[in-house]
Chains A and B, each alone.
Chain A
Amino acid sequence: GNSVTQMEGPVTLSEEAFLTINCTYTATGYPSLFWYVQYPGEGLQLLLKATKADDKGSNKGFEATYRKETTSFHLEKGSVQVSDSAVYFCALRMEYGNKLVFGAGTILRVKS
């Protein structure tokens, strides 16, 4: 079946450090890929998305590139802030499907 694997956390960084959160997927077909962020006590917010191979999604300084050859969608940010502390979820949705398939989530903690 379709699945998403994320690097385990928590990831702890100092402010202004470079961030990478790895995400790989397994899917039969051509999924759309998403990163969602969940701040404490809140629901998920869409951070960025990419709908086809080589697309780059970007938002708020975060970027991720849809790599079909490596089935990956790694999240990066050049300089993290304390306010980026949250749980980050990688997810996929199949071309003709409706449900999102999520990874387990990665906790990010940024220290000042």
Chain B
Amino acid sequence: NAGVMQNPRHLVRRRGQEARLRCSPMKGHSHVYWYRQLPEEGLKFMVYLQKENIIDESGMPKERFSAEFPKEGPSILRIQQVVRGDSAAYFCASSPQVSSYNEQFFGPGTRLTVL
């Protein structure tokens, strides 16, 4: 059973460009979470999604950031008009629909660098 997949692993963007980060949850998992890790800080929750629904986006910045988890395909975290402060590691986690809901399985992360 493959783990949580994220791509790309490293992404470099210039200020003003768009960044798209992809996350494929573990097989059978329908809950996806996105976290951001700023340099030398812990992970901060951004958004929690189920298939085709955003359940909790309390950690998402109000502007430029959006997330989706379509019926088919990976979850996408989209950052428009990136700024240097967006440079961070973005981690995706997934959990199964029922039971063991306390554990979230993390992907390897996407490291975004904004020049």
On chain A, the residues within 8 Å of B102 by CB distance are 32, 49, 51, 93
CB < 8 Å neighbour of B103 from A46, A103, A105: A46
CB neighbours (8 Å) of B44 from chain A are: 102
* Contact stretch, chosen from B12-20, B61-69, B104-112: B104-112
State how many angstroms separate the Cβ of A39 from the closest Cβ of chain B.
10
> Given A42-B108, A49-B102, A99 and B45 touching (CB < 8 A)?
yes
- Evaluate contact between B59 and A99: CB separation under 8 angstroms: yes
Q: How many angstroms between the C-alpha atoms of A49 and B6 in the bound complex?
A: 25
A25 in the interface, Cβ–Cβ < 8 Å? no
Nearest A residue (CB) for B92: A43
User: Is A28 close to B, CB under 8 A?
Assistant: no
Q: How far is the CB of A59 from chain B (nearest CB, A)?
A: 12
Q: How many residues of A contact B (CB 8 A)?
A: 21
Given contacts A44-B106, A98-B56, whether A104 and B41 have CB atoms under 8 Å apart is yes
**9 further interface pairs, Cβ-Cβ under 8 Å (given A41-B108, A93-B102):** A32-B102, A43-B4, A43-B106, A43-B108, A44-B93, A46-B104, A100-B45, A102-B42, A105-B42
Give residues in A with beta carbon < 8 Å to B: 4, 32, 36, 41-46, 49, 51, 89, 93, 98-105
Please report B residues at the A interface, Cβ cutoff 8 Å: 4, 6, 31, 33, 35, 40-45, 48, 55-56, 58-59, 91, 93, 101-109
Listed A/B pairs (30) with beta-carbon separation below 8 Å: A4-B42, A36-B106, A42-B108, A42-B109, A43-B4, A43-B6, A43-B91, A43-B106, A43-B107, A43-B108, A44-B43, A44-B106, A46-B103, A46-B105, A49-B102, A49-B103, A89-B43, A98-B55, A98-B56, A99-B33, A99-B59, A100-B35, A100-B43, A102-B35, A102-B42, A102-B43, A102-B44, A103-B42, A104-B42, A105-B41
